[in-house]
Structure 1
């Protein structure tokens, strides 16, 4: 909800040179918290981990209007990332717990579908609210949506069979508790794909203004809506034919989308390329999650999903930083930024050509 307005808000605070940090700091803290959220999800349960994330989202959202200076804003962006560092890890593990293997891709597609609905409604509503009310209103509304998440979580039944009491030892990580090596291949591919997502989050608000689009959340709404329908189809297809073919199609589509965004010179062209970008995201998001769960051991499922999200946040964060550096607040650099991200997505496609598909095998054989 708040992302489309943040670049202009930071500029109003005198921090226009730090636009790349809007996404980068958020994803940095999310990535740093992932090993802890993965371990806690496997120890104390999925629901407590989700509750921590939702609570952080509420508290930080309420603080944005109070810490209205550059240093305070950047601190809150870092703190806000802990919400994403915890909730999706617990939620993904929860879904994986209750879904049979043969429908895992479909279930992850449905799970990500609801996430996309929020991603579509949030920026569009946030951009609309910002045209009617002070930006503080957008911050408060975004914070209170987290309350509804907490109310839902209170009604859920925990799926972790042998819960442990939380202790300080759980916050001491061993080397093998940070990254799950079994899922490094899909996580690496996700990193390369997520790079473009970081570019879009950082540069599209300014690019929209450059093209004369008043609602800077419009592109986010378009690409997220376009990803909705394809998520279920992509999940089902990956269940039937394997994860790798779907990931190849997703990465190829992503390359085309980023090239077309870079070449866009009108609102219609940008929205059209946004549809294609949404299709790519809708294909790779549920498929990667299902692929990671396929390769993970049940007792380390939280850690495996945390590894995936670390790669996701690293890709988004680095994409945001690099794009902010390349853009340098100059409209002449828009094309350079988007075409460079297309090249990174191309590396994902090339890498997938060397990954063997494992369609139709039992879970034990897959591992």
Structure 2
């Protein structure tokens, strides 16, 4: 945290305002996690309808993530931030008085646009603002907003429902979004390099042909599948055992570990390289899933939750830093959008895809299957993360540079020019 005191006053102010906007945004979003399923049940929805309403969030998220990422490259991050905060302000008000399941599905899909806009623009803007030599550390600190929001929002949301009722919850969530708008209007948006836009016309899915973007996206897809499986099946698995553990404590352990790791990993990655910590995060995911597969006690589940949280808390900032290192400012939005869509898609399909697998092999063995997916992600990263297997291994274990990083490319070009 001492780094913030050394930054230019204007830059520090910009980052702090952005952090405040992000915290309010995520508190508003997270307040619906424990309460919206209860609201659907409250108006007479079935268990299946609860799942459909909650899952419809992915419609807006997946449909708009890529478009808004590209839009942020063309028009600036600030306008996309404002779109996200505007949606998170309007959507809660639409829930008031809505007693139709179809109406809730439509509102929830609209609500999903908020994350598609805000998280993409937020990540790209942090990368734009952060000095290159401290990029990993600043991304690590700024990524704390989601962890803090998910820790605060559900508790406040549940309290409001119990003491005041659902309309007050919706008004409160909308109010948080409105204050987030006010903070977002005060952010200084870095100028867009319009000269680079003519080189940024390729279709979005053509990014999949580019290994510097494709490999991080595949890693996030596989981790997203595992993340989604844990959020879907861990409570059911704990209930099926004799552990006697409140499933909420599993997620508390995960969130606490993730928060702690994010405070430390960014600074270390600036010194030792991003690849090493991506590798460590994937190994932690394998260990966590194997531990869940073999768990029979509350202690085993809590340890597994902490390991999983540490893995995810390390992975997301590091992938973000890698993409920031590899992208020009005028293409960061669409590249972040592409990679984060991999994570979104993994979460969205985890329930139906792995649920089908669980029907055949049971809840316990689904985590062995997920551990195998994490092993696959690890193998892909250590062999495909750079221009060939040799350089990939060196980058993945902190023994070599990221050859796709723009500063590294610039140095290579300078060296070749001097030799010629």
* TM-score normalised by L of structure 1: 0.84
Deviation at 1:333, TM superposition (A): 4.1
Closer/same/farther in 2, CA of residues 280 and 176 from structure 1, 3 Å limit = same
Q: Which region of structure 1 is more displaced relative to structure 2, 118-127 or 247-256?
A: 118-127
8 A Cα contact 1:31 1:314, kept in partner: yes
1:198 equivalent among 205, 228, 246: 228
The residue that corresponds to 1:350 in the other structure is 379
The residue that corresponds to 1:104 in the other structure is 135
Alpha-carbon distance in 2 for matches of 1:141, 1:324: 35
Q: How many residues align?
A: 356
- Match of 1:185, SS state, is helix
Q: Which region of structure 1 is more displaced relative to structure 2, 7-16 or 335-344?
A: 7-16
Which ranges of structure 1 fall in alignment gaps of 5 or more residues? 165-172
Closer/same/farther in 2, CA of residues 311 and 148 from structure 1, 3 Å limit = same
- Match of 1:66, SS state, is coil
Alpha-carbon distance in 2 for matches of 1:260, 1:279: 14
Alpha-carbon distance in 2 for matches of 1:267, 1:2: 27
Alpha-carbon distance in 1 for matches of 2:165, 2:110: 23
TM-superposition CA deviations, 1:57-86 (whole Å, max 9, x none): 121122224323322222222211100110
8 A Cα contact 2:120 2:337, kept in partner: yes
Is residue 363 from structure 1 mapped to residue 415 from structure 2 by the alignment? no
Q: Which has the higher contact order (CA 8 A, sep 6+)?
A: 1
2:322 equivalent among 288, 291, 314: 291
Which ranges of structure 2 fall in alignment gaps of 5 or more residues? 1-30, 386-391, 411-420
2:279 equivalent among 227, 232, 248: 248
Deviation at 1:91, TM superposition (A): 1.0
Is residue 308 from structure 1 mapped to residue 339 from structure 2 by the alignment? yes
Deviation at 1:88, TM superposition (A): 1.1
Closer/same/farther in 2, CA of residues 125 and 149 from structure 1, 3 Å limit = same
- Match of 1:4, SS state, is coil
Equivalence map 1:159-238=2 (5 Å) = 159-161=190-192, 176-178=203-205, 180=207, 181=210, 182-204=212-234, 217-238=248-269
Query: What's the C-alpha RMSD, in Å, of the aligned pairs?
Result: 3.1
- Match of 1:3, SS state, is coil
Closer/same/farther in 2, CA of residues 19 and 208 from structure 1, 3 Å limit = farther
Alpha-carbon distance in 2 for matches of 1:11, 1:319: 23
Closer/same/farther in 2, CA of residues 323 and 34 from structure 1, 3 Å limit = same
Deviation at 1:364, TM superposition (A): 4.0
2:302 equivalent among 252, 271, 276: 271
Alpha-carbon distance in 1 for matches of 2:270, 2:159: 39
Q: Which region of structure 1 is more displaced relative to structure 2, 355-364 or 301-310?
A: 355-364
The residue that corresponds to 1:85 in the other structure is 116
TM-superposition CA deviations, 1:261-299 (whole Å, max 9, x none): 344445544333221111011110100000111111222
TM-superposition CA deviations, 1:123-181 (whole Å, max 9, x none): 333344445454454444333221221121121111134689xxxxxxxx976245533
* TM-score normalised by L of structure 2: 0.75
8 A Cα contact 1:56 1:80, kept in partner: yes
TM-superposition CA deviations, 1:76-108 (whole Å, max 9, x none): 222111001100111111111111222111111
Is residue 335 from structure 1 mapped to residue 335 from structure 2 by the alignment? no
Max Rg structure: 2
- Match of 2:262, SS state, is helix
Closer/same/farther in 2, CA of residues 255 and 137 from structure 1, 3 Å limit = farther
8 A Cα contact 1:243 1:359, kept in partner: no
Alpha-carbon distance in 2 for matches of 1:142, 1:257: 33
8 A Cα contact 1:24 1:320, kept in partner: no
8 A Cα contact 1:191 1:315, kept in partner: yes
